[in-house]
Amino acid sequence: MEFASSSLSSSSSSFLTSEPHFIHDVFINFGGEDIGRRFVSHLHSVLLQSQVKTFISQENLHEGMKLEEQMRAIRHTKITIIVLSKSYTESPCCLLVLEKIIECHETFGQIVLPVFYEIDPLDVRHQKDDFGKALEDTARRSYSGEQLQHAPSRWSSALNRVAGMTGWDDTDFRHDAELVERIVSRVKTLLDYKDLFITEYPVGLESRVKDVIKCIKNQSTKVYMIGILGMRGSGKTTIAKAIYNRIYREFIAKSFIENITYAWHAENKDERYVALQEKLLSDFLKFKLEVKRVGMRRTMIENSFSRKKLLIVLDDVNQIGQLENLWGSLRRFGQGTVIIITTRNASLLNRLKVNYAYETHRLNENESLELFSWRAFREAKPRNKWSLLARNVVVCCGGLPLALQFLGSCLCDRTIEVWESVLLKLQRIPPNEQLLNLLKISFDNLPDTEKDIFLDVCCFFIGKERDYVTEILNGCGLHADIGITFLIERGLIKVERNNKFQIHPLLQAMGRGIIFQECPEEPGERSRLWSQDVKYVLKENTGTEAIEGLSLKLHSTTRACFKAHAFKKMKRLRLLRLYNVQLTGDYGNISEQLRWICWRGFPYKHIPSNFQLQNVIAMDLKYSHLQLLWKQPLWKQPQVLERLKFLNISHSKYLKETPDFSRLPSLEQLILKDCPSLLKVHQSIGDLSNILLINLKDCTSLRYLPREIYKLTSLKTLILSGCSKLGSIDITQVKSLVTIIT
């Protein structure tokens, strides 16, 4: 068979004119009928079972397929799996398709995953021995004259390119099934077809989403920027999430970064950029990459994704500085990239020169009543008895979705007397103070316990895991199992897919405003403190018994020193978070009521003996200077921490040995990740009858584990990856339900 150069060049020029519209998830390219019947058919079957839309090259099978059809399929596929075998270079069709795969990869960023099946990757890179000879023979069979001079070099270049890509060598796996499982797992991770949760009741959403999506179509030849503009609570984020869910399958990679303004409140300027850049990189690469320098992360973003068609949503951007060190990268992405920005700042969109600005509209009267009714009555219309009251409440909400949802949830299953009381409060709210005061009414109608839980989460536990926080707040006597469920049902807090807490920024502002109003003039009389107010109270020694929680986060390059005596009057202190803070003096001044202590960069070699931790549920001492947890004279034993369930001393580079675990009888999670000086795990670890997780990842000096660890019947997960000096674990001694990660 001989291929005409004119047909190839014409297909190439028409083939790569604009960004692709994706029809398939995966294209499988391979050569050899035997490989097709064995490995490729198995891979194809498992991909289909995993609901991955797969297009398989059938050039080697009886049905046959025109070359042009395969070219079109490649163009409309996100991921190409190339199965390279000894017979691959015997097929001219395989090699021509390979050229186009590489062109698509370099032009549009489509993902290429090579599999080296029964062939050495070096043979592919250098076309050695029979593999290279078959390449020359195939060129001679397919071309003549001047074309014959160029074909082998083009094919050789394409093979060399794909051999340098990250893929799989079948010799690294015990059998084909294991290799197939690994490939399919990677494909599913790259595709990541998981919709964002939008809202339980998407009233009025469809028409607004269509308005924005209309403008995206036919904009495939450039990076297209869209601004969604509106006041707080008008549904900007909800619209952006709905658009994201509708279109993300059309992109090579995607990222939705929520609440950028909230992240912007970090004390240190670099930290403000770190969160954005790391989120982009982890979303695009599908694994977390820790790079310390802001400039290096920016370079990685530009180099890795400059040609790719991406979807990026930046939610709640309200200052141009929030995109500094990021914006240059965004504008260099491949054609067809869509960037959506939600904001309250119209001038920001003008400065960014967005291609299209969409202004959110408040819900009309009928939409407002329907959304409110779903929340208040769990049906589309108000019940007759409440109809007039419901309409009057809706009028007070002014068409703002956020207010309608929270007030509806607040009034669900409440008596008419409560409704009338709430309506009276609503009607007294000045128009210029509408939204926050509307939300505050939702808070005012909560039971006292739920109010405390909401304020604790609002001030200390955003981004923390639900189970972790529940244990801590249960230890505070707040019945958090029930209370957290109640707050989620009312929409006041939410739990993301990773089981971590989030709160709408407006609700957080409301919660902190409520605390501020407890005593505007004197911070030491408030129940919870953070940031500059903490510095003032500790420096001026104005703390009182009113304080239940305190948070001061300083950057690692900044360190503040205060006297422990400043805590003496804080008898009810339950929650303490300090980052890079040093306390001097008598630690016995710190409250016995502590349930949670998060002290990053703890500055001492051991915990002072008079630091009363007997009621602590969770202790987080990451990045500490600890060598030992407690240092006691022989005549005085360390205190028993009966209630401690979570102990995290990760990234403590001076820690040499673990504590005596017989003093921690309730411990459930022990996290000692990245403690490079850790030499010894105390043999009493066998006494931990409630332990579920032990994480010793990257403890590079640890040489052995005590055999008592095999006695742990409650243990579920043991992480030992990166423990390079650790001897082999006797798997036969470990109970079968333990997951060991090495």
Q: Which whole number is the average pLDDT over 694-721?
A: 90
The pLDDT of residue 304: 67
Structure tokens at 444: 């005012």
The pLDDT of residue 158: 92
Give 562's contacts (C-beta < 8 A, 6+ positions apart).
Answer: 538, 539, 581, 582, 583, 584
pLDDT digits (tens, 9 = 90+) for 82-124: 999 998 998 888 898 999 999 888 888 889 999 999 999 998 9
Q: Is residue 27 a contact partner of residue 57, using CB atoms and an 8 Å limit?
A: yes
What is the β-pairing status of strands 310-314 and 528-530?
A: unpaired
Report the distance separating Cα 351 and Cα 319, nearest Å: 10
Structure tokens at 437: 């005061």
**Most confident region among 185-194, 395-404, 473-482, 502-511 by mean pLDDT:** 473-482
Q: Is residue 720 a contact partner of residue 741, using CB atoms and an 8 Å limit?
A: yes
Report the distance separating Cα 435 and Cα 404, nearest Å: 10
Structure tokens at 727: 């001897």
Question: Residue 320: which region, alpha, beta or left (left: phi > 0; alpha: psi -120 to 50)?
Answer: alpha
Report the distance separating Cα 334 and Cα 308, nearest Å: 4
Q: Is pLDDT of 732 > 70?
A: no
Q: Is residue 437 a contact partner of residue 429, using CB atoms and an 8 Å limit?
A: yes
Q: Is pLDDT of 374 > 70?
A: yes
The pLDDT of residue 363: 92
Report the distance separating Cα 304 and Cα 306, nearest Å: 6
The pLDDT of residue 693: 94
Q: Is pLDDT of 294 > 80?
A: no
Report the distance separating Cα 158 and Cα 162, nearest Å: 6
Q: Is residue 526 a contact partner of residue 519, using CB atoms and an 8 Å limit?
A: yes
Only one residue has tokens 């003096």, namely 585
Q: Is pLDDT of 742 > 80?
A: no
Q: Is pLDDT of 577 > 50?
A: yes
DSSP 465: B
The pLDDT of residue 739: 74
pLDDT digits (tens, 9 = 90+) for 122-144: 989 988 888 889 888 888 888 77
CATH class given for the domain over 435-510: mainly alpha
The pLDDT of residue 222: 76
Report the distance separating Cα 241 and Cα 449, nearest Å: 33
Only one residue has tokens 């967005």, namely 354
- What is the three-class DSSP state of 690? coil
Of the pLDDT bands very low, low, confident and very high (cuts 50, 70, 90), residue 634 is: very low
Report the distance separating Cα 263 and Cα 526, nearest Å: 25
Pick the CATH number of 365-428 from 1.10.510, 2.30.170, 1.10.3470, 1.10.8: 1.10.8
* Phi, psi angles (nearest 5°) of residue 101: -60, -45
pLDDT digits (tens, 9 = 90+) for 245-256: 999 988 888 999
The pLDDT of residue 290: 62
Q: Is pLDDT of 387 > 80?
A: yes
Q: Exposed (0-12), middle (13-18) or buried (19+): which is 25, by Cβ within 10 Å?
A: buried
Give 273's contacts (C-beta < 8 A, 6+ positions apart).
Answer: 294, 297, 324, 325, 326
DSSP 461: I
Gap between the terminal Cα atoms of the chain: 52
Only one residue has tokens 């003996």, namely 609
Query: Pick from 373, 382, 445, 379: which is nearest to 414 by CA?
Result: 445
What pTM did the predictor assign?
0.74
Q: Exposed (0-12), middle (13-18) or buried (19+): which is 358, by Cβ within 10 Å?
A: buried
Of the pLDDT bands very low, low, confident and very high (cuts 50, 70, 90), residue 273 is: low
Report the distance separating Cα 389 and Cα 369, nearest Å: 11
Report the distance separating Cα 402 and Cα 371, nearest Å: 10
Is it true that 24-192 and 205-359 share their CATH fold? yes
Q: Which whole number is the average pLDDT over 355-364?
A: 91
Q: Which whole number is the average pLDDT over 274-289?
A: 74
Report the distance separating Cα 480 and Cα 476, nearest Å: 9
Which parts of 164-220 fold into alpha helices (H)? 176-191, 205-216
CATH architecture, range 24-192: 3-Layer(aba) Sandwich (3.40)
Question: What 3 state SS string does 528-564 have?
Answer: EEECHHHHHHHHHCCCCCCCCEEEEECCCCCCEEEEH
Q: Is residue 549 a contact partner of residue 568, using CB atoms and an 8 Å limit?
A: no
Q: Count the neighbouring beta carbons within 10 Å of the beta carbon of residue 209.
A: 21
Of the pLDDT bands very low, low, confident and very high (cuts 50, 70, 90), residue 261 is: confident
The pLDDT of residue 292: 56
Pick the CATH number of 205-359 from 2.60.120.260, 3.90.400.10, 1.10.3470.10, 3.40.50.300: 3.40.50.300
Only one residue has tokens 């956020």, namely 402
User: Average model confidence (pLDDT) for the chain?
Assistant: 85
The pLDDT of residue 515: 94
Q: Is pLDDT of 269 > 90?
A: no
Report the distance separating Cα 85 and Cα 116, nearest Å: 6
Task: Determine which of 43-47, 304-308, 369-373, 612-616 has the lowest per-residue pLDDT on average.
Answer: 304-308
Does residue 676 or residue 558 have the better pLDDT?
A: 676
Structure tokens at 31: 């050569």
Give 679's contacts (C-beta < 8 A, 6+ positions apart).
Answer: 656, 657, 701, 702, 703
Q: Is pLDDT of 270 > 80?
A: no
pLDDT digits (tens, 9 = 90+) for 46-77: 999 999 999 987 544 433 456 778 888 888 89
Spans of all domains in the chain: 24-192, 205-359, 365-428, 435-510, 595-741
| CATH superfamily of this structure's domain 595-741 | Ribonuclease Inhibitor (3.80.10.10)
The amino acid at residue 688 is L
Give 425's contacts (C-beta < 8 A, 6+ positions apart).
Answer: 441, 444
